[in-house]
C-alpha cells in the first residue's frame, strides 16, 4: 500500500523537526552526580525519588565511601561530586581542575569517636585500637582526642578503616573504637556503641561542598543550575513534609526513620543565601577554611603540593542563578 505524497511529506517534516530539536537540545548527555552516604547528601536522592530530576538529564550514583567518590571524580566518571572540604583539597592536590558551586552543611556532631560499651572514657582508650579513615575529619577528631587525654600513637593502636567497613568490624569485635560519620554513627549506637567525643567540639568545622569538574562547569551550566535548584527544592520538601521525607529516605538507606532523624541532628544545613555569603568576599570564609585545613593536612602528611590561593576554585555564578532567577 502506497502512502499518499502529502502524508509522506508531513511525516518526513516531523522526523526532520524531531531530529533538529534533539540536536539543538542543551542536554546532549546526562550529568553524572555522585555522593557517599551522609544525611544532607540525601536531598539529592530525595529529589530523584520525588521525580524532580529527569533521569535522561541526570544520573545519580551513591558510592560506598567518599574515597570511591574521589576516585570516580578524578577519573572523569563523575561530573559533579558532594564531598567534604578536605576531600576537595585532596583532588586539588592531585591536579584536578574543579569549581566549588555551593556549601552544603557543617558537621556539628555527625562525625564521632565511638567505642565498645566497656570503654567509658577517652582515657580508657589507652592500649586499645582505634579505626579511622585517614582523612581530615578523622585526623581532626583523633588529634583532639590526643590533646584531651595525652594519648598518642604509641599508646593506642591506629588502624585504617573505610567508613563502609566500620559496622562489620565493630560487629566482629575486631576493633575497640572507631571514628565514623552519619549514618554509620547511628547504626553503631543502636548496636550499643558508646559515643566519647564528636565533631561539635572542633574549632575547625568539617564542611561539605558541591563541586563540579571545570570543563563541565563551562559546558553544562544549565544542567548544573537545574540540579542545584532541585536539590534545594527537595530540602524544602523535607522541611515542610519531614515525616514523609524521612520515611522515603530511610527506605532507600535501609535505616529506621528514627535513626535518620537522629543523624540529621548532627548536621547544620546551610541555606543558599548563607552559602553565597560564605563563598563571597576576598578572602571568602571558604578560602580561609581551606587555608587552615590545608596547613593542618600538610603537617599530618595528608596532602601534597597545593596552591595557597583558593579564590580560583570558587564560583558563585550558579548559586546566584539558583537564588535570583
Q: Name all domains of the chain by residue range, CATH numbers in brackets.
A: 28-107+207-324 (3.40.190.10), 111-201 (3.40.190.10)
pLDDT band, residue 16 (cuts 50/70/90): very low
- For residue 101, pLDDT over 50 is answered with yes
Q: What is the pTM of this model?
A: 0.89
Evaluate whether 159 touches 175 at the Cβ level (below 8 Å).
yes
Q: Which residue has the higher pLDDT, 304 or 46?
A: 46
Residue 170 has pLDDT above 60, yes or no: yes
* Residue 27: per-residue pLDDT: 52
67: pLDDT strictly greater than 70: yes
3 C-beta neighbours (distance < 10 Å), count: 10
Q: Residue 287 in contact with residue 310, Cβ under 8 Å?
A: yes
Could you give the CA distance from residue 235 to residue 242 in angstroms, rounded to a whole number? Answer: 10
**266-296 tens-digit pLDDT:** 999 999 999 999 999 999 999 999 999 999 8
SS3 82: strand
**pLDDT exceeds 90 at position 20:** no
Rg value, the chain, Cα: 23
Q: What is the pLDDT of residue 68?
A: 93
Structure confidence at residue 10 (pLDDT): 39
Is pLDDT larger for residue 162 or for residue 206? 206
pLDDT at 134: 79
Whole-angstrom distance, CA of residue 175 vs CA of residue 152: 17
Please, are residues 193 and 290 in contact by the beta-carbon 8 Å criterion? no
Residue 49: which residues within 8 A CB-CB, separation 6 or more? 248, 249, 252
Strands across the sheet containing 129-132: 157-160, 129-132, 177-181, 111-115, 194-198
- For residue range 171-228, what is the model confidence (pLDDT) as tens digits? 988 899 999 999 999 999 999 999 999 999 998 899 999 999 999 999 999 999 999 9
> How, if at all, do strands 157-160 and 58-62 pair?
unpaired
Give the model's pLDDT for residue 28: 65
Amino acid at each position: 500500500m502506497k502512502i499518499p505524497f502529502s502524508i509522506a511529506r508531513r511525516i518526513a517534516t516531523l522526523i526532520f523537526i524531531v531530529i533538529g530539536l534533539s540536536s539543538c537540545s542543551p542536554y546532549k548527555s546526562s550529568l553524572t552526580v555522585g555522593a557517599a552516604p551522609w544525611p544532607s547528601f540525601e536531598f539529592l536522592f530525595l529529589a530523584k525519588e520525588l521525580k524532580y530530576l529527569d533521569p535522561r538529564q541526570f544520573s545519580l550514583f551513591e558510592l560506598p565511601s567518599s574515597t570511591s567518590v574521589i576516585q570516580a571524580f578524578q577519573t572523569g566518571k563523575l561530573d559533579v561530586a558532594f564531598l567534604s572540604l578536605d576531600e576537595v583539597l585532596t583532588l586539588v592536590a592531585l591536579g584536578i581542575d574543579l569549581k566549588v558551586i555551593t556549601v552544603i552543611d557543617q558537621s556539628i556532631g555527625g562525625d564521632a569517636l565511638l567505642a565498645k560499651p566497656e570503654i567509658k572514657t577517652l582515657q580508657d582508650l589507652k592500649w586499645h585500637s582505634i579505626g579511622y579513615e585517614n582523612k581530615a575529619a578523622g585526623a581532626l577528631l583523633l588529634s583532639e582526642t590526643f590533646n584531651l587525654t595525652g594519648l598518642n600513637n604509641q599508646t593506642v593502636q591506629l588502624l585504617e578503616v573505610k567508613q563502609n567497613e566500620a559496622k562489620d568490624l565493630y560487629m566482629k569485635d575486631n576493633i575497640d573504637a572507631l571514628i565514623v560519620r552519619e549514618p554509620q554513627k547511628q547504626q553503631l549506637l543502636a548496636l550499643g556503641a558508646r559515643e566519647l567525643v564528636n565533631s561539635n567540639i572542633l574549632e575547625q568545622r568539617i564542611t561539605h561542598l558541591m563541586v563540579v569538574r571545570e570543563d563541565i562547569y563551562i559546558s553544562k551550566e544549565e544542567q548544573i543550575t537545574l540540579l542545584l535548584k532541585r536539590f534545594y527544592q527537595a530540602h524544602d520538601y523535607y522541611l515542610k513534609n519531614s515525616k514523609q521525607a524521612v520515611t522515603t529516605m530511610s527506605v532507600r538507606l535501609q535505616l529506621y526513620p528514627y535513626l535518620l532523624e537522629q543523624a540529621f541532628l548532627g548536621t547544620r544545613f546551610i541555606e543558599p543565601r548563607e552559602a553565597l555569603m560564605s563563598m563571597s568576599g576576598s578572602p571568602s570564609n571558604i578560602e580561609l577554611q581551606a587555608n587552615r585545613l590545608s596547613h593542618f593536612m600538610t603537617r599530618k602528611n595528608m596532602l601534597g603540593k597545593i596552591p595557597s590561593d583558593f579564590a580560583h576554585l570558587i564560583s558563585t555564578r550558579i548559586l546566584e542563578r539558583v537564588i535570583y532567577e
